[in-house]
Amino acid sequence: QDGESSTRPRRLSFGTNIRHSTNARKERREALRARHAKLRVEVAQVRRQIEAQGRGQRFVLHPAHSKFLPYWDVVTAVALIYTATLTPFEVAFLRPATATVQAWTQPFFIINRLLDLVFGLDIVLQFFTAFRHVRGFGEGFWIADHKVIAQHYLRTWFSVDLLTVVVPSTVDIYIAQSSLSEDGQLDSGRRNPETSASRVGETSASLVRTMRILRLVKLVRLARASRIFKRWQARITLANSTKTLLQCCFELLFATHWYACIFSLQALMASSIDDTWLGENMFDLCLDEPSSVAASNATHEQLVLPGCPGLGLFRWYLAAVCWSIMVIT
């Protein structure tokens, strides 16, 4: 009996059971209160994060959802096509604007200033345009926080974009304010009478050549085309074969045009036209014609090759294109 009584569980009184149940309910209520308080703190933190994220994304343009960006991409694409085609042609074959007042009446000068305005506005928009952060294996996500977008743009493309706007416009305006006359002298009103005309002409010609090369910095703007192409690629679906074919065709056309402009610049920079592809050993296009014939063939805006006065603009460009195609193929 003593063994059985020692192993038998002790029975608690009724009052003791009530006290234990009351304490358990209090502990559960306190645990629930602590859990609710923790949830309220977490909800408040998430709410503050959402509000801060909303403030950071208030003026952000998302390429996948914005209705404005597709139209702006078209405007930028037209500006880039102009830059890729007419800017090398203008530098290689046409005279720059050489008078401040007359410059604003010349179409190319006005169009270039409008392009500077377009690319300047595009720089501002890049601070508010979401970008895609790509991780390994092609995975990625859109970054729409304004602060992160601005920091990323300042670290990557901002200096290049600013360079392509400031340098060409500064060069064009400087050439216009320098006002080179047709005889190659500077119309600054401070000519030294002891300086020979030939020396001034050589200095002015060298200055114009250097400025002409600096104007080709505009072509760096074509780096923007990759960003526009990525946004278009996300909206337009094409087969890989079609993309490759279109890419090859455009690259061949632009390469032909650019090489033609490069060959024209090479002829302009040469000391003698006979040492270039236009000389008598190559194309032999430089004919000794009277000045009246040369004036009728060359337009007012066209550059005149030294030693080749009778070469018209169309014939000059066509010869450069033919030579470019021959070199490429």
Can you give the pLDDT at residue 6? 52
Task: Return averaged pLDDT per consecutive 10 residues of the chain, 329 residues in all.
Answer: 51 58 77 82 71 63 85 91 92 74 79 93 93 72 86 92 90 73 41 44 60 82 78 74 88 95 87 78 60 45 71 87 91
Can you give the pLDDT at residue 118? 94
Give the DSSP letter string of 153-214: HHHTTHHHHHHHHHHHHHHHHHHHHH-B-TTS-B-SS---TTS-HHHHHHHHHHHHHHHHHH
Can you give the pLDDT at residue 114? 94
Do residues 119 and 87 make contact, with C-beta atoms less than 8 angstroms apart? no
Burial of 85 (0-12, 13-18, 19+ CB in 10 A): middle
Can you give the pLDDT at residue 138? 60
Can you give the pLDDT at residue 125? 94
Do residues 94 and 302 make contact, with C-beta atoms less than 8 angstroms apart? yes
Distance CA 309, CA 295 (A): 8
Can you give the pLDDT at residue 188? 41
Can you give the pLDDT at residue 122? 93
Can you give the pLDDT at residue 48? 64
pTM: 0.71
